[in-house]
Amino acid sequence: MQNQSQDQNQRPAAMINPMEQSNYVFKFLSYYFDKPTLTGTFVYQGIDNTIFTETIKFAPHPEAYKGKKFNVLDDPGINQILDHAMFLAFIMIGSSYYKAHPTPFVHLPKPIDGFQADFFNKVFQEGLGQYAFENGLTRDNLAHFKATATNVEPARPYRGDGIISLQSGGKDSLLVATLLLEANIDFTPWYISSDPEGAHPAVIDEIFPNLINKNASVCIRGIDQVHLNETGGLNGHVPVTYINTSLAIIQAILNNQNIILTSIGNEGSEPHSMIGDLPVNHQWSKTWEAEQLMAEYVKRYISEDIKVGSPIRKYSELRIAELFVNKCWQKYGYKFSSCNSANYKQGAKNGQLSWCGECAKCANTYILFCPFLAPQALQSLFQDIDLYRKPSFVETFKGLLGIDGVMKPLECVGSVDELRFAYHHRMKVPPILVSQNLSQERNYQTETINANLVQASARLGMNKFFTGADQHATPQQYNPNGNNGQYGAAYANAKAAEIKELPVIEQKYDKDGNPLPLELPEGWWQPLYADLPFFVPESNFDYAAEHNSQDFFRNFFEDNRNLEAPASLKEEEKSN
């Protein structure tokens, strides 16, 4: 989802000292849903009496062109379910305004019970761990919700049917979309935009390339940046995954759908640091603990018939990278991005995603994909640069790989063990003869991060140099007919460089017995991943092991697979 946690335009101003504000209260004032315009309004009051008003413009029903609308019969039960979902979003969104001037004391317009109080405390304490770390706060300075009732309005039965899948243009959500289509499961791709016109990554509109009325369903989040700028104060990361999920629940109810799919693997549980007993976690709301709590809240207070969770939760980040290469690279390899620095800024269009090649997310992506992609393929995302050779990345890689006590970057990144494992299993490929008809000199100016896969393989002749390997072996060598089968067709159709047999070259060694780089004849090039300039411990990480997952989502694609495309997809195909 779009990184809406930083509120990039917020400017600091005079603030109230959080250590001395024991008598100040942050107030959750009101929320309201306007049915004709599908707009939610959420109002808060900061401790300096600034009033914040956020609006959310939800997407129309995915079959609005057929005349379908939300709750046409005005069923009071459905209205109550929507109200309960609105209250959840009301609290989640509040973190974006609470953070300006934090206080332990909060006021709500309606009573909450013990479970709700504990849940909201998790959101505003564990969910604000990084924010607290960066602003010198402790758990005591953060919000403390208290139960004001023993019984509150319970969840209600719900008869919705259908799937909404949160999309961002990143590898995880595009993989989920691909797995859904493979299983002939219909769904609505959904995106939250901060652009007033609903701009979003174009790649999301390509998920259903041959179907009409299957473009991204876009929700527009209108953060009250004006009053955030006026109030000044602190800034930092909020539990944006929870905010997005709570809004997706509302959208699903408006669409009469009952399943909300996030796209999160086994990640986020490894703290970056600790503040007493408060873990400093970049995205606590992505953790397995957080998913369970959200699912339980929905079951207790909205409807047990609404399911929310991730169908890829059981996979490690490294396993997700492998699946993405195998199933998605041919279509999305040069269209996706996980880089928050180059994309996902407040108010940005984000139509074409890219990579900055300078941030921790780029470094993390580079490590995760290096066991499954040839060096020249992965490096083409980063202007043909081997990130392992960049001096500016040394400290970043140390943090990611747990070296010299360097703190792990405050980003959504893999665990130290799996990243060490990936680094030590970088793909190795044979030397390549560069044709006289193709430039051997690599032009970093013209070969952009959006380079076309076929053009790259044509210039480098990649498809001629990948030898077969046991597809069940540890990822090390590219296999065009095995794990990475999608590559075979793309590379076979490429106009590859003229290939000649590489002469026998003597392997030479240094005085310590270490192999020296091969002295290649003129015209030959050895694509490779360099060694980092520091020792990286080995890891026995089992990247294929399955991790915790909700029972409902553990085998979601298999359990819901259709032998044929559902009628909704067939009807769309006929209309083309």
Rg (CA), the chain: 25
Mutual orientation of helices 114-125 and 76-98 as an angle, nearest 10°?
40
What is the Cα–Cα distance from 395 to 387, expressed in whole angstroms?
Answer: 12
Closest CA to 412 of 368, 473, 370: 368
- What residue type is assigned to position 75 of the chain? D
Q: What is the 3-state secondary structure (H, E, C) of 501-523?
A: CCCCCCCCECCCCCECCCCCCCC
Helices (H), 214-339: 225-231, 240-254, 288-301, 317-327, 329-332
Q: Are 200 and 218 in contact (CB under 8 A)?
A: yes
What is the Cα–Cα distance from 432 to 438, expressed in whole angstroms?
Answer: 12
H/E run at residue 378: helix 375-379
Helices (H), 129-170: 129-134
Closest CA to 116 of 164, 154, 78: 154
Neighbours of 326 (CB within 10 A): 18
Reported residue count of the chain is 576
What is the Cα–Cα distance from 491 to 448, expressed in whole angstroms?
Answer: 20
Q: Are 389 and 357 in contact (CB under 8 A)?
A: no
What is the Cα–Cα distance from 310 to 302, expressed in whole angstroms?
Answer: 19
- Residues pairing with 219 in the sheet: 192
What is the Cα–Cα distance from 185 to 557, expressed in whole angstroms?
Answer: 8
Q: Are 143 and 104 in contact (CB under 8 A)?
A: yes
Helices (H), 48-75: none
Sequence spans of domains, the chain? 18-309, 355-525
- What residue type is assigned to position 244 of the chain? N
- Tell me, rounded to whole angstroms, the distance of Cα 119 from its chain centroid: 23
Q: Are 49 and 274 in contact (CB under 8 A)?
A: no
- Residues pairing with 56 in the sheet: 40, 221
Instruction: Look at the block and give the residue holding tokens 């026995």.
Output: 540
Closest CA to 370 of 442, 444, 421: 421
Cα-based distances in Å from 511 to 48, 85, 304, 507, 515: 70, 68, 68, 13, 10
Phi, psi of 28 (to 5 degrees): -85, 105
Q: Are 283 and 269 in contact (CB under 8 A)?
A: no
Phi, psi of 431 (to 5 degrees): -60, 155
Is the alpha carbon torsion for 446, 431, 382, 208 positive or negative?
Answer: positive
What is the Cα–Cα distance from 391 to 204, expressed in whole angstroms?
Answer: 35
pLDDT value at residue 471: 35
Cα-based distances in Å from 402 to 147, 231, 420, 538: 41, 39, 9, 12
What is the Cα–Cα distance from 399 to 420, expressed in whole angstroms?
Answer: 11
What is the Cα–Cα distance from 250 to 57, expressed in whole angstroms?
Answer: 11
Residues 6 or more apart whose Cβ sits within 8 Å of residue 469: 476, 477, 478, 479, 482
Block means of pLDDT (10 residues each) for the chain, length 576 residues? 40 48 85 97 96 97 88 92 98 97 96 97 96 94 95 94 94 96 94 90 84 80 95 92 97 97 88 87 91 98 98 96 94 89 67 86 95 90 91 94 91 91 89 53 34 38 35 34 30 35 69 76 77 94 93 96 74 46
The SS3 call for residue 273 is: strand
Cα-based distances in Å from 544 to 327, 472, 487, 556: 16, 10, 21, 18
Instruction: Look at the block and give the residue holding tokens 């989920």.
Output: 176
Closest CA to 423 of 397, 458, 443: 397
**pTM given for the model:** 0.83
What is the Cα–Cα distance from 126 to 134, expressed in whole angstroms?
Answer: 14
Residues 6 or more apart whose Cβ sits within 8 Å of residue 214: 189, 207, 208, 572
**Burial status of residue 219 (CB atoms within 10 A of its CB: 0-12, 13-18, 19 or more):** buried
Helices (H), 52-106: 76-98
